[in-house]
Amino acid sequence: MPNTAIRPVRILGLDPGLRRTGWGVVAVSGARVAHVAHGVVAPKDSLPFAERLLALFEGLAEVIAAHAPDEAAVEETFVNTNAASTLKLGHARACCLIAPARAGLPVAEYAATVVKKAVVGTGAAEKDQVGFMIRRLLPTAGETTADAADALAVAIAHAHHRSARAYA
């Protein structure tokens, strides 16, 4: 009998940051979401700004090559009171959008409140609540850093919203 099973869709979730960009990959099959991998890309603070961005971009390209995601999702940035910090975060976010796009992946964007609501049930959840729910929803992920947990949450949010987006 031929194997008619459909390969699960792999989703790369990204939580942008110039110092630490969290990433997480999940496999989605119907309503089932399973952990594949997670981590953080952390360029050296001592590097010049352009080289830090390049290190971030190359690190994300390596993650994409290693885990072969089918789609990507990036958390939208909120505006900080410090304009310079917001601008730098925007540069890191650009790397998170361009790296998967360059690899040919469709890229979705989600507000932090949408991500938190998808994982915790409320858009006003704290970081520790997101981490707690990631440990419950993806027990094979083990302990994660806050950045990686946030990235996995972005991937889960996309898993929940992707079918609705396809018909929008």
Task: List active site positions.
Answer: 15, 75, 147
By CB atoms closer than 10 A (0-12, 13-18, 19+), residue 137 is: middle
Which residue type, as a one-letter code, is found at position 61? Answer: A
**Can you tell me the distance from the alpha carbon of 150 to that of 21, in angstroms, rounded to the nearest whole number?**
10
Alpha helix ranges (H) inside the chain: 49-67, 83-102, 112-119, 127-137, 146-166
Residues 106/124, Cβ–Cβ less than 8 Å? no
**Rounded to whole angstroms, how far apart are CA atoms 120 and 124?**
9
